[in-house]
Chain A
């Protein structure tokens, strides 16, 4: 597939998402304002606010005008008004975003690095006891839902042993600064991060191991051995390096799972990121906030997937000519 085709796919995906975001609320019974904002918000809003929203999103116009107004407002960065926080949705989300980015980013890096390392070691030792134990363990982990892994860790280390705080990202009103603040953040981050890494590591591991097993049977490995390469060099410089290629793709394929996993894990630990925000929005039926979070997450996933696709082409030129 050429680059134009790729970009076209992503453009089409974005269009589908925008249309869904626009259409689904409007499929609900009732007038658009009520359908989009929900009954609870209708009670909370003053008539002036209703007027303002109807004007901003052209809700008294035919659907095509509404769609144009919707796209125009998105381009302005206007995601609507959160009635629960009584603030613009975009503002509420930006305030929470750093925590989610911190959690998801660290989890991605750690699970990729550890998964690739274990995958290479395990694939190299295929059929030996260490490989068997690792493989069985990882396969069992792959069945664990993110939020259940989080719940197990929370109960074990938080409720049972009392080692880590049960909720939040920093100790409230502690007035910590510098190193103490850094440690406090790490202390709160440890469990959510651990649950994400534990669940996410298995996919990278299994993929790396599979490629490693296939690579170890390739002719160039025999050549490397025949010319007298030390085993460590065969493992990492030859087999490991060419097994890392799929790991890049895995990063892209994993990302949607990682991000949705982060949302769920945040909910378990009441971590103040956008996952908890989404959960509260769902509980309080704050529909504009919910839509804003979902739209943002989806667009981020699309963006990163596109980057991975483009990067993959750079690393492995064969992909471009594969079709």
Chain B
């Protein structure tokens, strides 16, 4: 498959919209201190202050600047999302690749494990573990990766099995290429795009689950997070504050999740050309 995936994704409408959304959120997250004069934990002296020049989105029930929370919440979401997705994709690639290349009993054992884990609802296990451990960002990354990897592993295995049978792999093998060489030089480039698609989809699920867990109040209360903002703001829905507290947090979360989903759809379309809009 000799397609420039990057260009293909950028060419499709949803792909461009998705990439733009992610880039915007990422820029705000990375440059957070430049856009605000406050710290997330800082007490500003005004409680439920409406939006003003000083507090762009007003202040919350304990007098903290909401705009600052929104910016630092983006950091949490993206860091946890990317971290969990990267870790999960590595495990997927290792398990799937190993199963495909080894075959035999290794393949059977690994795939039995994968298939069993695949039918377990990830968020339920995540809630159970989080309720006891009250995870901070780092532990959350491990927890989410631990429940997310099986789906990707199945995909990587099937793609690696197909790649293994390709002529250029067979040719390399007849020239005496070792297993590691085959994996890194021939099979990985072949299934690289699939792994990137897995990565994007996993990032979307991780951002989603992080928000869900903090919405339930089972994540570390010290971590600033969109889900937590929504949980707290929902208690004051009888006041006007939801307009600049609840909605921005929800909108930011939706934008991030939608951005990742759109990028994922675009990648999927590139990978499965039959879905392409050829006769438009």
Contact check, B250 vs A151: say whether CB atoms are below 8 A apart. Answer: yes
Q: What 1/0 flags go to B92-126 for Cβ under 8 Å of A?
A: 00000000000000000000110111011111110
Q: Does A12 contact B (CB under 8 A)?
A: yes
B147 to chain A, nearest CB (A): 10
- Whether A13 contacts B14 by the Cβ 8 Å rule is no
B237 touches A155 (CB 8 A): yes
Residues of B near A305 (CB, < 8 A) are: 119
Q: Which residues of A contact B262 (CB under 8 A)?
A: 139, 143
B258 and A140: CB pair below 8 A?
yes
Q: How many residues of B contact A (CB 8 A)?
A: 47
Hey, what's the 0/1 contact readout for A52-90 against B, CB within 8 Å counting as 1? Answer: 000000000000000000000000000000000000000
When chains A and B are docked, how far (Å) is the Cα of A174 from the Cα of B215?
32
Q: Does A102 contact B (CB under 8 A)?
A: no
Interface string of A128-143 (1 = CB under 8 A from B): 0000000010011011
Q: How many A-B residue pairs have CB under 8 A?
A: 128
Contact check, A143 vs B254: say whether CB atoms are below 8 A apart. Answer: yes
Interfacial chain A residues near B218, Cβ < 8 Å: 282
Picked from A147, A287, A294, the residue with its CB within 8 Å of the CB of B230 is: A147
B40 within 8 A of A: no
Contacting residues, chain B, for A17 (C-beta < 8 A) = 120, 125
Contact B121 A143 (CB under 8 A): no
- The segment from B47-55, B190-198, B271-279 found at the interface with A is B271-279
Q: Are B112 and A8 in contact (CB under 8 A)?
A: yes
How would residues 12 to 42 of chain A score, 1 for a CB under 8 Å from any chain B CB and 0 otherwise? 1100110011001101100000000000000
Question: Is B7 interfacial (CB-CB < 8 Å)?
Answer: no
Across-interface contacts of B200 in A (CB, < 8 A):
none
A290 contacts partner chain B, Cβ-Cβ < 8 Å = yes
Given A25-B132, A151-B250, A264-B215, also A13-B120 (CB < 8 A): yes
A97 at interface, CB cutoff 8 A: no
**Would you call B234 and A279 a contact (CB within 8 A)?**
no
Main secondary structure of the interface of B (DSSP, over half): helix
A309 → chain B, closest Cβ, in Å?
A: 9
B211 at the interface (CB under 8 A from A): yes
Q: Would A12 and B132 be within 8 Å (CB), given that A20-B125, A268-B234, A282-B216 are in contact? A: no
Known: A12-B112, A24-B132, A127-B279. A148 touches B119 (CB 8 A): no
The residue among B127, B131, B250, B258 with the most chain A CB atoms within 10 A of its own CB is B131
Could you give, for residues 223-235 of chain B, a 1 whenever the CB lies within 8 Å of some chain A CB and a 0 otherwise?
Answer: 0000000100010
Partner of A143, one of B120, B246, B258: B258
Which of B119, B216, B217, B279: most chain A CB closer than 10 A? B119
Task: Please judge, given known A-B contacts A28-B132, A154-B237, whether A302 and B124 are in contact too, CB under 8 Å.
Answer: no
In the bound assembly, the distance between CA atoms of A52 and B140 in angstroms comes to: 36
- What residues of chain B lie closer than 8 Å to A260, measured between beta carbons? 121, 123-124, 212
Contacts of B259 in A (CB 8 A): 143
- Per CB-CB distance, the 8 closest pairs between chain A and chain B, nearest first, are A143-B258, A12-B116, A256-B121, A148-B250, A13-B116, A143-B257, A9-B115, A127-B280
- Given A151-B230, A155-B237; 7 other pairs, CB 8 A cutoff: A143-B254, A143-B261, A144-B257, A154-B237, A282-B216, A282-B217, A297-B121
